[in-house]
Amino acid sequence: MTKHIGIVLYPDLEELDAVGPYEVFGGLKMASGGEWQVVTIAEKAGKVRGFHGLEIGATYGFADAPQLAVILLPGGLGSPREMDNPRMLEFVRQAAATCEYITSVCSGAFILHRAGLLEGRRATTHWSAIEALRLLGDVEVLDDERYVHDGNVITSAGVSAGIDMALYLVSLLRDAQTALSVQKMMEYYPRPPQFAQARLPDGQGSV
């Protein structure tokens, strides 16, 4: 039986939040012989423009999306608007009800929270939104974690952390060897350049 991983798109999302996990799940699709499929979903099918201008195609609209085994909510500057979008929240609630795993990247956690899916759980988000998530009062927010797994909910920190979370999820959906194979195919072994004298923005210290 085919199982679907649905990545939910909306205007002004952070592109890598969606595209990074899509690449990982594409590897799962290949490794599973098509047992797992990854699909993109938006309020209406068609192109969705991310914050940096990249247009990503949504294959399905909310009305005709397949039943999902996994749902992923990316973050981005469009997420506050989607927190107040009743059509988004209703779709997320309905889809999540039958999901094996409910996931988010970055500020996508706030959409999950508004849909009622994070209450009483441990979670994380982008470093700049950690305190805002903590102030909601009903989430145990963990700092300095790339991803947090609580029950069937997995939240991840900002942008590139979504790739880590997606690889971890592949290990759960299939096995560790498949996750390692996908990681190798992607050549995903982060080793960013070092800028010894530079300082991170907003008082985050030296690199």
Give me the half-sphere count of Cα atoms (radius 13 Å) on the Cβ side of residue 6: 27
- Which of 41, 88, 106, 139 is labelled catalytic? 106
Helix or strand or coil: residue 181? Answer: helix
pLDDT at 195: 81
Q: Domain spans of the chain? A: 3-203
Rg value, the chain, Cα: 16
Confidence at residue 26, expressed as pLDDT on a 0 to 100 scale:
98
pTM: 0.93
Select from 172, 196, 51, 156 the least CA-distant residue to 100: 172
**Nearest-angstrom CA–CA distance, 23 and 5:** 12
Told to judge if 99 belongs to the known catalytic residues of this protein, a careful annotator would answer: no
Q: How far is CA 48 from CA 26, 89, 154, in A?
A: 20, 18, 24
Residues of the chain with pLDDT below 70 are 198, 200-207
In this prediction, residue 203 carries a pLDDT of 52
Q: Does domain 3-203 have CATH number 3.40.50.880?
A: yes
pLDDT by residue (tens digit) across 44-54?
999 999 999 99
What is the structure's pLDDT at 204? 58
Residues 108-146, buried b or exposed e (16+ Cβ, 10 A)? bbbbbbbbebbeebbbbbbbebbeebeeeeebebbeebe
